Amino acid sequence: MIDARAFAEFERVILNDPGGRGVASFARPGEFESACRALATARRVGIVTGFYIPTADACETDGPLGACHLAKAIQRFARAAVCTDQWCLPVVQSLIPQATDDPSILEDCDALVAIERLGRAADGRYYSMRGADLTEWTEPLDEIFLRRRSGVATVGVGDGGNEIGMGSVLDRVKEVVTFGELIGSVVPTDHLVAAGVSNWGAWGLIAGLSLFHPQIELPTPDAAFTDLITLVAAGAVDGVTGHPNLTVDGLDWSHHSEILEWLTALSP
Q: How far is CA 93 from CA 119, 189, 252, in A?
A: 22, 26, 24
Strands (E), the chain: 44-49, 52-53, 58-59, 79-83, 111-115, 153-158, 191-194
Q: Where are the alpha helices (DSSP H) in 104-196?
A: 143-146, 170-176, 180-183
Amino acid at 3: D
- The pLDDT assigned to 255 comes to 97
How many Cα atoms are found within 13 Å in the side-chain-facing hemisphere of 191?
21
Contact between residue 32 and residue 12 where contact means Cβ atoms under 8 Å apart = no
- The pLDDT assigned to 20 comes to 87
- The pLDDT assigned to 202 comes to 98
- 199 closest CA partner among 256, 247, 151: 256
- The pLDDT assigned to 230 comes to 98
Stated pTM of the model: 0.97
- The pLDDT assigned to 187 comes to 98
- 27 closest CA partner among 38, 39, 13: 13
Q: In what order do the strands lie in the sheet containing 153-158?
A: 79-83, 44-49, 111-115, 153-158, 191-194
DSSP per-residue string spanning 19-59: T---GGGG--TTHHHHHHHHHHT-SEEEEEE--EETTTTEE
* Per-run averaged pLDDT (10 residues), the chain, 268 residues: 91 94 93 98 98 97 98 98 98 98 96 98 97 98 94 97 98 96 98 98 98 97 98 97 97 98 95
Contact between residue 83 and residue 46 where contact means Cβ atoms under 8 Å apart = yes
Work out how many domains the chain is built from and give that number. Answer: 1
Burial class (CB in 10 A: 0-12, 13-18, 19+), 1: exposed
Q: Output the domain CATH number for residue 66.
A: 3.90.1640.20
Instruction: State the residue range of the domain holding 14.
Output: 4-266
Report d(CA 95, CA 197) in Å as an integer. Answer: 19
Strands (E), 96-174: 111-115, 153-158
* CB atoms near residue 186 (< 10 Å): 17
